[in-house]
Amino acid sequence: MIYNLKYSRYNESSILIEWKAIIDENILQDVLRFKFLIENNNIKQKVEVISTYNSLLIVYDYAIDSFNSKIFTLKSLYLQQNESESTKPSHWKIPVCYADQFAIDLENFSNQKKLSKSEITKLHSDTIYTVFFIGFLPGFLYLGGLDSRLFLDRKTTPNLNVKKGSVAIGGQQTGIYPQDSPGGWHIIGNSPIELFNTNSNPPCFIKAGDKIQFQSISVSEHNTITRSLENSLFNLKSLKCD
């Protein structure tokens, strides 16, 4: 499917390409296909291509002289794409402990949604999610596909220090905090997995378009995985389903 895209100057060295402003998996696949085309065609001046739910930001290493010419080239390239031109998504099983010591907001979440804690954890872990993009922190996965029964607006007052690995729900999305940081999502569990490591290549082993399913684990299993990671004994390949 060919979408009607909006091309605009973002700054003197960047071009923004926008799709319809909705969260949609078909649009995501189109975004990722176009990103793949740009990165793999001989556009030597391109420095970086950043994707979100429904946009691409192309950052060049110089000031663009003719935006019209550059945009024409991009439009022509977009029309060349086909279904085969994309990277194959991976499917990951991410362990999460939903125990009270990690799920600091689960009790309140349960009261607000009129669902038991076990119902919430089952709904959350039964779903296969799509990674739409990675931000606002390096390695923070924005996951689409959350069961509508778990939708809940973000907190009016954010936490000043959300712990690394916290699994949370905000609005219609769920995600994992890759490091200690402020945050306004509802914390319902914790994953011991290291999502971002500057010593790894790539630093984040999960990419946009991948599939994620959470696997409920006990506190003791969480502790075991944490110790294995600390001792470099945990193999990330064990998380991959395909």
Q: Specify the CATH superfamily of domain 91-239.
A: Cyclophilin-like (2.40.100.10)
pLDDT of residue 129: 96
Is the domain spanning 6-78 CATH 3.90.1150.10? The answer is no
Domain ranges of the chain: 6-78, 91-239
CA distance 129 to 151: 14
pLDDT digit string, tens, across residues 127-141:
999 999 888 788 899
pTM metric for this prediction: 0.81
Tokens for 53? Answer: 């739910």
CA distance 101 to 218: 11
Q: Exposed, middle or buried by CB within 10 Å (0-12, 13-18, 19+), for 163? A: middle
Domains 6-78 and 91-239 share a fold: no
pLDDT in tens, 1-22: 889 999 999 999 999 999 999 8
Q: What is the pLDDT of residue 22?
A: 87
Residue 175 has, within 13 A of its CA and on its CB side, a CA count of 29
What is residue 80's predicted lDDT score, i.e. its pLDDT?
A: 82
